A = this chain, B = another copy of it.
Amino acid sequence: MTTSPKQKSSVLPTGGGAALLDPEDAVILLLDHQSGLFQTVKDIPVADLRRNVEVVARLATLLNIPVITSASEPSGSNGPLMPEIHEIATHAVYVPRKGEVNAWDNGDFVDQVRATGRRTLIMAGVWTSVCVMFPALDAVAAGYDVYAVIDASGDPSEMASRTSLARFVQGGVKPTSANALLSELHRTWARPEAAELAKLYGLAAPNYAAVMESFQKAQAVARASA
Contacts and interface: CB of A to CB of B under 8 A. Distances in A.
Given A137-B19, A218-B219, A105 B13 contact: yes
A167 B176 CA distance: 7
Which size bracket describes the interface of A in this complex? 35 or more
A180 B105 CA distance: 16
Contacts of A46: 206-207, 210
Interface of A: 13, 15-20, 35-36, 38-40, 43-48, 50-51, 72-80, 82-83, 98-102, 104-107, 110, 127, 129-130, 133-135, 137-138, 140-141, 150-151, 155-157, 159-171, 174-177, 179-180, 183-184, 186-191, 194, 198, 201, 204-208, 210-223, 226
List the number of copies, as a whole number: 8
29 contacts: A16-B135, A19-B137, A19-B138, A35-B217, A36-B214, A39-B210, A44-B159, A50-B206, A72-B189, A74-B217, A75-B221, A77-B212, A79-B210, A82-B213, A101-B183, A101-B186, A101-B187, A105-B187, A127-B179, A151-B157, A151-B163, A156-B179, A156-B204, A159-B161, A165-B166, A167-B169, A211-B214, A219-B222, A226-B226
